[in-house]
Every structure is written in structure tokens, then in C-alpha cells.
Chains A and B, each alone.
Chain A
């Protein structure tokens, strides 16, 4: 199991906790890859929770590793889908008739938690109803401040913008609305001088 202690950072950078069961009539859970492990741990703390839970799960590279475990929890509804974008219409549909008191649990990569949290916020659900737990990849979702394109799953600093091709350094400044960190041109003052990419947090 991969649990990470992120270094302390600036005030816009999200911090993640550990999922804990909360009282409520409805529970929406969304996870990707190793994030399923956090849902399994959550279920083990409160056997009754899953009967009122709707799980949306994106296995990504973990394939079938967690699918059987999630099914065995007998959630009220379980969706296993191929990508966040594929799951998005369903997530929005669920959020559109969410009632007061809905509890939201997000787990997995920063990209998934950030995008799901932005949808939850856009649906008018209070921030306090959302819990998050980081599991798995340290990859970041980055916005290029120059072309505005989003590059998913960035694991090195610097990296190449997948849209405009500029070499960008990875900032900790984070927008919850965009669910992305900011990438800024690294060689603007010395064109062509791009340091070797280093794996994030290494």
C-alpha cells in the first residue's frame, strides 16, 4: 500500500486526510487505481455504510486488482468505468439530485480527487461534506499558464506541455476550480536551457 507524506507547502496546495465513516443517508464514493484500497479500509470501519453507498471507480493501471474486493462490499450501486471523463456524465447526474447531508468520499490520485471535488463544489455541495485520501501515483494534473492546456499525470519536473510543447516547471500553486497545478515556462530567460527532468518528490 502506498501512503505518501507530502512535504508542507503553500496555502493553495490541497492537503489530504484519511477517509472516515460519517453519519448520513447517502454516501457518494469516487476513487481511481489504488484509491480503491481507501474505500476498502473505509468499509471495514463501518459495515453498514456500503448499503447506502454509490461507488464510482476507475481502475486505470490496476486492472482487476480491486474490482472483486469492491463488489464484495455489496454497495448499493457500483460503477466501474474506463476513465474519469467517461464517468463524468454519471457523476454529474448523481450530483444533480444529491440531497442535503450527502457525504462524499474521494480517494486515489490528486487529479481524480481534484476533478471530482470541483464537480461536487459546482453542484453546490458544501466543502465540509467532502473527505479525501491520497493513494497511489504522485502524478499531478497541470495547467499550462501559457496555452491553458491541461496535461494529465505529470510525474517529472520540468515536463513538456502536451498541447503547446513548452518546457514547464511544476509549481505548488493550485486552483481548485481547474483542479490543476500551474506550469510555467522554465527557459523563458535562457531559451534552450532546460534542466534534466527529475521525478517529483525525489
Chain B
């Protein structure tokens, strides 16, 4: 299908909306009625047609507006995109991966014409038509990482692999769930995950790192992560927390359906060919509670997950104070009926709400 790009904002008047199409394809992250950290990784080999898993780099109705929001963040704070000197090659690797994937997966939106080192990149939604020399930084308006990720939804962490560890040595981070690239750049896998509760003790990070270090070129992997955000604010950065933190206190029983958003990250893992770096795209999807509960199974399940979530996780994810309001709202969308296994909406087979 051709995508109608929304003209919307993720700040100020928060005009962001999901169309019925976007609601139906939302990556609901819970495959059962409870949640705990686990090594939840699988191969990234596409998915059902129309789902966010189908393409290598999903493009949706929010694309153009998200890229506008990213440009605003970078204008205010250029430190959101950084690359340590040894990571330039990985930047070119990433640029190639994205240009090749997008032009193959969305030929009506993106074109890549290659004549030796001379490349022409056409990005129709953003009105870009650039010709440059591959591997020659002077022929692009930004470094390769910044150039291509200003045109690709989601944050990007680029990991150097050495000393049996992964090192976050480059990234583009403007839609993060409250962590700072500027602070974490240069850290290894265990260091940047240090603030996460419980998972270290469960041995999750040891096993996850082992899995990641063995990801091979051409065999990407993926996982989902989630948190909660009041208002459809993409830039929930620690840098700006003193500005947006107050919004968490503005939630009421009246506005929660519209204001409270489930925030889901589709995280993928690709091995890059020349640098042997690993790239970690973190794609953020937002959905308002009132839209989410239009899928009866999701309303039932989200209530049970949030109600039973361990306190440490609700605290770490920053919604412990608002949890009672959430449970109150969500309980009205849970009739106690059983839910089908798996994440899919199952609209045809799951019964409507019985209350």
C-alpha cells in the first residue's frame, strides 16, 4: 500500500495520532498475561505482511514527522549523535545497509543507483536526491551515520566488538527511553546496562551478550522492549528530563486514555560487513491507551501485565506513581475472559469486551 504520511508533532500540541492501520499493526509486546525480563531474542526474518516485522527497516505514517522531530532535537543538542573516531567505517556500513534495504523493500519511496563508488540516493518522502562518493565523507553534508539516520526512524547504537564484549562507540539517539548516549558512549555491554534492575542477577545480560557476539552477517535478530510515556513525546531524554518530567504528574482519570501511551521498542541486531561492528536500531512505537483498548485482547492483557508487574520494574520504567491510575483505567477493559496465546490482535477470534 502507499503510505499517507501524517503531518504531526511529538511535542507542544502533541498532534501525533495513530490511524486505524497503525493501531492494527502496533507491535504489542506481551505474548502472555504477565511480564518479566528474559532473553527474548529471535531471528529477524520478516513477519506477516503489513506487520512492523515485515521489512528490514519499517517505514510508517509517522516517518516524515519523526524525521522533523529528530532534526529539532539535533539542532538543540548535537551531542545526541556521536561517533568515536574508529567508528567511521561502521557508519558507511550502516549507510549501505539502510540504503540497500530501503530501496529494495520500498522501491516506490527510495532509490539507490550505484555506479562504482558513485552513488545516487533518492528519498522521495523527504525530498532528497543526493549524489556522493561512497566512503568519501567530504561528499556528504554529515558523517555517514548522521546522514542516513536523519532519514531513518528509530535510534541507532553502533557497537564495536572487541575483548569479548560490545562497546557503544557511536550512535544517533533522539527517541530514547531515558538514557543518554553522551554519557554511555564508550561503555561496554555490562556498563551501559548497569542501571537495569534484576536482569543482571538473572544472568540475562551474560546470555544476551553471548548471543549478540555470534550474530552473523545476513542473519539479523530482534526483540521487543517496552515502557510507558505520558504524551506522545519521542524525546524522553535524561538531558531534557527537567523539562518533561513534570508531564508525568499531569495524568488524571479523565485524560489518561488520551495521554498515557504504551511505548514499544522494536530492537534489531545486524552484523556489519566491513567493520564487523554490530548495529542496534531501536525503533519506537507509541500508542494511546484509548486506542490500544480498541483491541479487546490487548486491553485485557495490558491490565493484567501492569497490575502484576514487579515493583522494581514499574519503578525503573518510571511509572510507579501512575500505576494506580493505569490499573483503574485498564481494569474497565478487562472482563476476566481468557486471552489467546501470542502477541497478535486476533480481532476475528477474540470476543468483544463483555462489560
Give the B-binding residues of A (Cβ under 8 A).
10-13, 143, 145-146, 148, 166, 171-178, 182, 184-185, 188-191
Q: Apart from A12-B191, A173-B194, A182-B183, what are 15 other A-B pairs with CB-CB below 8 Å?
A: A10-B194, A11-B190, A11-B194, A12-B190, A12-B194, A145-B238, A172-B194, A175-B183, A175-B184, A177-B185, A177-B187, A185-B242, A185-B245, A188-B244, A189-B248
A69 CA to B79 CA, complexed, in Å: 45
Q: Is B33 an interface residue (CB 8 A)?
A: no
Q: Are A175 and B241 in contact (CB under 8 A)?
A: no
The listed residue (B180, B186, B245) touching A176 by CB distance below 8 A is B186
Closest to B77 in A: A148
User: What is the chain B residue whose CB lies nearest that of A178?
Assistant: B183
Closest to B84 in A: A177
Contact status of A175 and B246, CB under 8 A, knowing A11-B194, A146-B239: no
Interface size class of B (residues with CB under 8 A): 20 to 34
CB-based contact B248/A145 at 8 Å? no
In the complex, which residues 82-118 of chain B have their Cβ closer than 8 Å to any Cβ of chain A?
none
Distance (Å) between the CB of B174 and the closest chain A CB?
15
On whether A146 and B241 interact (CB within 8 A), knowing A12-B194, A13-B194, A175-B187, the answer reads yes
Complex interface: chain A residues within 8 A of B239 (CB)? 145-146
State the 9 A-B residue pairs at the shortest beta-carbon distance, nearest first: A188-B245, A12-B194, A10-B194, A177-B186, A185-B242, A11-B194, A12-B191, A11-B190, A145-B238
How far does the Cβ of A78 sit from chain B's closest Cβ, in whole Å? 32
Q: What is B's interface to A at a CB cutoff of 8 Å?
A: 79, 180, 182-187, 190-195, 200, 238-246, 248-249, 321
> Which residues of chain B come closer than 8 Å to A12, judged between CB atoms?
187, 190-192, 194-195
Q: Which residues of B contact A173 (CB under 8 A)?
A: 183, 194-195
Interface centre among B79, B182, B183, B241 (most CB of A within 10 A): B183
A189 to B: closest C-beta gap in Å? 5
CB distance from B235 to the nearest CB of A (A): 13
Docked-complex contact A143 and B200, CB < 8 angstroms: no
CA distance A172 to B186 in the complex (A): 17
Q: Which residues of A contact B194 (CB under 8 A)?
A: 10-13, 172-174
| Interface residues of A, dominant DSSP | loop
A191 to B242, CA, bound (A): 9
Give Cα A178 to B190, complex, Å. 17
Given A175-B184, A177-B185, is A188 in contact with B190 using a C-beta cutoff of 8 Å?
Answer: no
Assembled-state Cα–Cα distance A177/B195 (Å): 17
Q: Are B249 and A189 in contact (CB under 8 A)?
A: yes
Contacts A145-B180, A177-B185; A188 near B246 (Cβ below 8 A): yes
Interface of B is mostly: helix
Given A12-B194, A148-B79: A188 in contact with B242 (beta carbons within 8 A)? yes
13 A-B residue pairs with Cβ-Cβ distance under 8 Å, sorted by A, are: A12-B190, A12-B192, A12-B195, A145-B241, A146-B238, A175-B186, A177-B187, A178-B183, A184-B241, A188-B241, A188-B242, A189-B245, A190-B249
Neighbouring B residues of A178 by C-beta, 8 Å: 183
Closest to A145 in B: B238
The answer to whether B242 touches A146, judged by C-beta atoms less than 8 angstroms apart, is: yes
Bound form: Cα–Cα A76–B294 in Å? 76
A11-B190, A12-B191, A175-B187 known; A189+B180 contact, CB < 8 A:
no
How far apart are the CA atoms of A190 and B192 in the complex, in Å?
28
How far apart are the CA atoms of A188 and B191 in the complex, in Å?
A: 26
Query: B246 touching A191 by the CB < 8 A rule?
Result: yes
Q: Which residues does chain A contribute within 8 Å of B243, judged by CB atoms?
A: 188
* Complex-state Cα separation, A12 to B196, whole angstroms: 11
Q: In whole angstroms, how far apart are the Cα atoms of A171 and B321 in the complex?
A: 20
Q: How far is the CB of B238 from chain A (nearest CB, A)?
A: 5
On chain A, the residues within 8 Å of B191 by CB distance are 11-12, 174, 176
Complex Cα–Cα for A177 and B248 (A): 32
Q: Smallest CB-CB separation from A180: which chain B residue?
A: B183
Q: Are A143 and B183 interface neighbours, CB within 8 A?
A: yes
A157 to B52, CA, bound (A): 44
Q: Which residue of B lies closest to A10 (CB)?
A: B194
| B242 and A148 within 8 A (CB) | no
**A8, chain B: closest CB distance, angstroms:** 12
* CB-CB nearest in chain A for B196: A10
Which residues of the other chain, A, contact B183 by a CB distance below 8 angstroms? 143, 145, 173, 175, 178, 182
User: Least Cβ distance of A13 to chain B in Å?
Assistant: 7
Closest chain B residue, CB of each to CB of A186: B242
Chain A: minimal CB distance from B231 (Å): 14
CB-CB < 8 A to B240: which residues of A? 146
> Which B residues touch A185, using CB under 8 A?
241-242, 245
Complex CA–CA separation, A172 to B194 (angstroms): 9
Nearest chain A CB to B246's CB is how many angstroms away? Answer: 6
Q: Is the CB of A148 within 8 A of B245?
A: no
